[in-house]
Structure 1
Amino acid sequence: MVTHNIRNSKDLAGYINYTNLNNMISESEMREFLEKAKGMNFNSVIVSPTYVPLAKEMLKDTNVKIGSVVGFPLGFENTETKIAEATSLVENGADEIDVVINLSYLKNENYDLLENEITQIKEAIGDKVLKVIIETKVLEDYQKANASKLAQKAGADFIKTSTGFVSPNHIYENVNDINIFLKHAPKIKIEISGGITDYKNANQIITAGADKIGSDYGYEIVKRYKDLRENTQVTPKPITLTKKD
């Protein structure tokens, strides 16, 4: 298991995929969101397909990657549709693709169909990052294990826990998911998403072994950490040495 150390706010931001998938957001609001992302060192921003070109343009002089979603948020589109969505996103500038799996395939134990879908999407996007969302809140532990093994076998880069549209997991549920993935698919990376709103929770998840966090509150998490750990100035009192008689 890899140990993750957070030394400063830049390190912390590097674990976070700053997310805004509001389907009613205006362009001016999205521009404000992306401006916030500019000032941090986030691994990526995750935006709807509509705003991928804008994100690519606004963040072109930063190291922040552009992520977007396929089959979102239900995952029941056919494989051909998902491949077309993913290919279009890459053409428009996306670096990371978050695809929601077909949960019916998983529930019905149609593992060949599920593996084949993930394999084809990965082949279609080449060296871009593929993250597979499995919605752990609605799954049994054995289904999480099977999904993670299939995702790893099919060549996905990440297993991701949630779309954010289902009630968020408790920290203990998140840690349980991480332990399952580490045991059954140790080569795949892990992203925990949904309900992570503060540094304490983010740090617990990173310490437990997650590689990335997806959060709408990425800016607030990093800013709060920065204010507490880096913007606090303490002036020590002068030391006076007196000679004892």
Structure 2
Amino acid sequence: MYLKQYIDHTLLKPTATEADVTALCKEAVHYGFYAVCVNSCYVPLAKELIRDSKVKLAAVIGFPLGAMATEAKIREVEYCVAHSADEIDMVINLGWLKSGRYNEIISEIEQIKKVIDKGTLKVILETCYLSEKEIQLACELCLKGNADMVKTSTGFGPEGATLKAIRIMKDSVGDNAGIKASGGIRDRKTALEFIKAGASRIGTSSGVKMMEE
């Protein structure tokens, strides 16, 4: 197994500069990572930098809270798709989940998936705020909304990915969706443990370190 094929090389810090994103993309191309993951404002720059490579471009939307209006999320997705993003990582509306507004969540995911069409849609659950039953429920809603993958975390919550959450997510989605473990994964050994537990993608800013290990 080649770990590099699982890695979304990620830079989402609010202070990320153009130089930082340029370095990220050059590293991804050099090491052959699966994708780079950036904030939507850097989609055009990142796409230009990886254009002649096999590296995919993922953009986060509704990030990191997920609490903005559906219309705002859709407009952000449209911008990213117009600038050739291959994948979208959207944040689920946690307030809606805890309020029982399940149909709105399904509809939001469906609408965003419709915009990106054949592109990959990952839905971030921010599992640190959810009980085991809520993680299961969130996964079910994502499947009903036609999401391609479910993802643990933004990296901005009080806790990132956990093996327990990955196992719950795997039990919930089975082979019907991929799973991305993201948040706090900083070394090769940990990344491999998450893959063994069921993750099909690893979101990390420590990809280079993992390759050097």
* TM-score normalised to structure 2 length: 0.96
Q: Does 1:92 find its partner at 2:116?
A: no
Displacement of 1:175 in angstroms is: 2.1
Separation in 1 of the partners of 2:158 and 2:68?
22
Separation in 2 of the partners of 1:179 and 1:208?
6
Partner residue in 1 for 2:93: 102
Aligned residues: 212
Q: 2:138 aligns with which of 122, 132, 147?
A: 147
Matches within 5 A, 1:34-73: 34-73=25-64
Displacement of 1:184 in angstroms is: 2.0
Displacement of 1:199 in angstroms is: 0.6
Matches within 5 A, 1:203-214: 203-214=192-203
Q: Which moved more, 1:108-117 or 1:181-190?
A: 181-190
Q: Could you list the per-position Cα deviations for residues 133-154 of structure 1 after superposition, in whole angstroms to 9, with x for gaps in the alignment?
A: 0100110010000000110111
Task: Provide structure 1 residue ranges, at least 5 long, that are not aligned to the other structure.
Answer: 1-5, 225-245
Separation in 2 of the partners of 1:12 and 1:79?
35
Separation in 2 of the partners of 1:116 and 1:26?
34
Q: 1:130 aligns with which of 121, 141, 146?
A: 121
Partner residue in 1 for 2:7: 16
Bigger radius of gyration among the two: 1
SS at match of 1:98: strand
Amino acid at match of 1:181: M
Separation in 1 of the partners of 2:111 and 2:38?
23
Q: Does 1:199 find its partner at 2:196?
A: no
Separation in 1 of the partners of 2:131 and 2:47?
38
Partner residue in 2 for 1:189: 178
Q: Percent identity?
A: 40
Separation in 1 of the partners of 2:121 and 2:134?
20
SS at match of 2:33: coil
Q: Could you list the per-position Cα deviations for residues 101-140 of structure 1 after superposition, in whole angstroms to 9, with x for gaps in the alignment?
A: 1101100111111111111111111111100001001100
